[in-house]
Amino acid sequence: MTTHDEIRNLLGVYALDAIDHADERAMVETHLARCDECREEVDDHRSVAAVMAQAELAAPTDLWNRIGSELESAQSRRRPRWSLIQGMTSIAAVVSIAAAVGLTVLWTQASRETEQLRDQIAELQAGIDQARSELQRDPIELAADRAAASGTALEVTVGGDIGTSRAVVLPDGHGWLTNVEFAPLDPSQTYQLWAIQDGTVISAGILGSSPGTVAFQIDASKLEGLVITVEDAGGVVSSSNPAAAAWLAQT
């Protein structure tokens, strides 16, 4: 059982995003949800941090244009949502009129309208879901796609018993694991990524039990392979477990 003092001791590091264990972070968040005093302290730390971040480098001039074009696609996604809400309001209106007047004819008509509206809503929802999945893409995933499209990147499949993922590595050593379709592990375990470089195996990242897209950094000039192992949560410095998925360069 954690005491209030123990939680309080974590408020500074929590506000600075310096807690890397998800369960420890969740513990603080649970506490913050019901403790005004601690929430205020975190808010204070964050505003101090924001003041501390005075270092203002000029953002690239074309960045707003990028954001603006993203908004246009977000806008086309949002419009159906408004009509969705209007649709729901109409259903509510139709149903309440029917209840008040109590006429069978009206009720039948209402349910037909309700049916039609429901179909329309389902259609809109499908459109929204599709648009959302496209728009909510991870920036890391987008970076990987851009890198792969540059044509100078190594793009390979890391696969094995656990499933497959796509790895993209740039000549400067920036790498991404995307389209990760590994079977989820028990939370007490984690996938770990290893790079074989110049005959040595080096940890390139702890991926968690149900990994999504991740970025990593390696020495691309010496890359001979990428290997995934299953380890206890937290990962290991060197592994004695067999490869659960791998890509090996042709020698």
Partner 1 sequence: MTGMALAVETTYIAPLVPFADHSDDELAAVIADRHPDAEAALEEAYRRYGDAVFGLALRVIHDRSLAEDITQDVFVSLWRRPDRFDPSRGKLKTFLLTVAHSRAVDLIRSEQSRRSREEREHLKVVRSTPSIEDEVIDIHMAEHVRRALDTLSIDERRAIELAYFGGQSYRQVAVTLNEPEGTVKSRIRSGMKQLGRVLEQHR
Q: Which residues form the interface with partner 1 (CB under 8 A)?
A: 8-13, 15-20, 39, 43-60, 63-64, 66-68, 70-71, 74-75, 78, 82, 139-140, 142-143, 174, 195, 202-206, 214-219
Which tokens is 90 given?
């109409």
Distance in Å, CB of 59 to partner 1, minimum? 4
Rank residues 24 and 155 by Cβ distance to partner 1 and give the closer one.
Answer: 24
Distance in Å, CB of 140 to partner 1, minimum? 7
User: What is the tally of helices (H) and strands (E) in the chain?
Assistant: 7, 8
- What's the full length of the chain, in residues? 251
Rank residues 10 and 227 by Cβ distance to partner 1 and give the closer one.
Answer: 10
Distance in Å, CB of 120 to partner 1, minimum? 21
Distance in Å, CB of 228 to partner 1, minimum? 14
Rank residues 184 and 212 by Cβ distance to partner 1 and give the closer one.
Answer: 212
Q: Give the Cα separation of 215 and 190 in Å (integer).
A: 16
Handedness of CA 114, 116, 119, 123 (dihedral sign): negative
Name the residue among 146, 143, 184 with its Cα closest to residue 162.
184
Query: Which position has the token pair 């793009």?
Result: 155
Query: Which position has the token pair 């648009």?
Result: 131
Rank residues 95 and 201 by Cβ distance to partner 1 and give the closer one.
Answer: 201
User: What is the distance between the terminal CA atoms of the chain, rounded to a whole angstrom?
Assistant: 55
239 with 200: CB under 8 angstroms?
Answer: no
Q: Give the Cα separation of 22 and 233 in Å (integer).
A: 12
Rank residues 68 and 102 by Cβ distance to partner 1 and give the closer one.
Answer: 68
Distance in Å, CB of 222 to partner 1, minimum? 11
Sheet arrangement for strand 245-248: 200-208, 189-197, 223-232, 245-248, 154-160, 163-169, 174-182, 214-217
Distance in Å, CB of 234 to partner 1, minimum? 11
Rank residues 94 and 194 by Cβ distance to partner 1 and give the closer one.
Answer: 194
